[in-house]
Amino acid sequence: MPLRRRTTGKNGTSESVDNYLKAILSLGGAEGGRVTSKALADRLSVAPASVTNMLQKLALSGDTFVKYERHRGVELSASGRLRALEVLRHHRLIETFLYEVLDYPLEEVHEEAERLEHFISERFEERIAAKLGHPRIDPHGHSIPSLEGEMPRQQSVPLSDVDAPASVVVESLSDRDSGVLRLFQSYGIKPAVRLRVTKRAIEGSWVRVGRSRAEVELSREVADDIRVVAESVPAGAAAK
């Protein structure tokens, strides 16, 4: 079923509800697991009591976007997942439009898209997607949900989990911290770039970016914001 925009419900503003649903989708992972109130409070930077209040309202509303049990956390219902994917599609299409068409810096597109994602019409969404050639990946390397509410599962791991020595390719970068994105830009770290992991320790990872021989030190927190896949070796090529 194609994604369709829902109107504001009695459980709060559309923007607030959308932000909760997106956070649950992100924290729940591909399998749609349960998410704790504490994890939501940390992600949304709100008080735990406010999270509990909102989840109770969502669970009791006629929209039935979530399944919530006190002390057991929350998960999205089928309709909640569809709505979260719809908003996420808006967000990532807007990011791509801002970056590719309006030349916004990469570190600025997330916050701008956060403001706009809740309010664009279906016609505007369709025009953006057509203008961009119906992209599947946003500028940070994240999959864009399809109009049918499907999103390919990305098989990547945080750079902080990769043991040295290893050669990997950047799949995506977290978009939540503009300062960290500026740091990545200064190092030349972006989706599709190869990284050679030369050292890994409790405090972080050391990498060489692309063809550079210089080592870059990344704290564990920063390395967590880079998701990578193993570098593929062409058939018949000798491993080096």
Alpha carbon 218 to chain centroid, angstroms: 20
In angstroms, the CA 140 to CA 176 distance is 11
List phi, psi (to 5°) of 167. -120, 120
Gap between the Cα atoms of 184 and 220, Å rounded: 14
User: Tens of pLDDT along the chain (240 residues)?
Assistant: 455 554 444 334 478 999 999 999 999 987 778 999 999 999 999 999 999 999 998 888 877 899 998 888 999 999 999 999 999 999 999 999 999 999 999 999 999 999 999 889 999 999 999 999 999 999 999 999 999 888 888 789 999 999 999 999 999 999 989 999 999 999 999 999 999 999 999 999 999 999 999 999 999 999 999 999 998 644 443 333
pLDDT at 3: 55
Instruction: With H, G, I as helix, E, B as strand and everything else as coil, classify residue 228.
Output: strand
What is the fold, at CATH topology level, of the domain defined by 157-230? Answer: SH3 type barrels. (2.30.30)
Q: Quick one: pLDDT at residue 119? A: 87
pTM for this entry: 0.86
> Which of the following CATH numbers is that of domain 1-153: 1.20.1250.20, 3.40.50.300, 3.40.630.30, 1.10.10.10?
1.10.10.10
pLDDT of residue 126: 95
Residue 2: its pLDDT value, please? Answer: 55
The burial of 3, by beta-carbon neighbours within 10 Å (0-12 exposed, 13-18 middle, 19 or more buried), is given as buried
What pLDDT is stored for residue 10 in this prediction? Answer: 38
Domain boundaries, the chain: 1-153, 157-230
Q: Please name the helix (run of DSSP H) or strand (run of DSSP E) that holds residue 66, with its range, or none.
A: strand 66-69
